[in-house]
Amino acid sequence: MPQKDDLQFIRQNGPYYAEFIERTSKKLCTIDLTDYLLNRDDFDEIYSDDNEYGGHYSKFGNRVIAEIMHKNLRKHKLV
C-alpha cells in the first residue's frame, strides 16, 4: 500500500521494489496497489494527509483500495 510520496518517486524513477514483488508473488497472492494508483491523477483525494507523504488514505481512498482488492481477490478466486 504505497504512500503518496512513493507514487511520486516511482513516477520519476521507476519501481524500486520490483524484484521483491516478483519473488513474493511466486509464493503468495500478492496485490501491488502501485500499478493501479500510478495511473490516477487524484492523489490528493485518495490520501487524507495534507502533506507530501500522504501516509493515510481518505474515506474515498479506502473505497478505491477496497474495490481494487475485491477485484483481485475475485480474480484469484479467494472470495
Q: How far is CA 46 from the centre of its chain?
A: 11
Report yes or no: 26 and 37 within 8 Å, Cβ to Cβ: no
Q: Provide the residue range defining the domain that includes 63.
A: 4-75
Closest residue by Cα to residue 29 from 67, 66, 79: 79
Q: Which CA distances in Å does 31 have to 49, 53, 60, 62?
A: 23, 21, 19, 15
pLDDT tens, per residue, the chain with 79 residues: 888 888 889 999 988 888 999 999 999 989 999 989 998 989 889 988 766 666 789 999 999 999 999 999 999 898 8
Report yes or no: 1 and 65 within 8 Å, Cβ to Cβ: yes
For residue 21, give the DSSP letter: H
User: What pTM did the predictor assign?
Assistant: 0.81
- 29/43 Cα distance (integer angstroms): 26
Domain count of the fold of the chain: 1
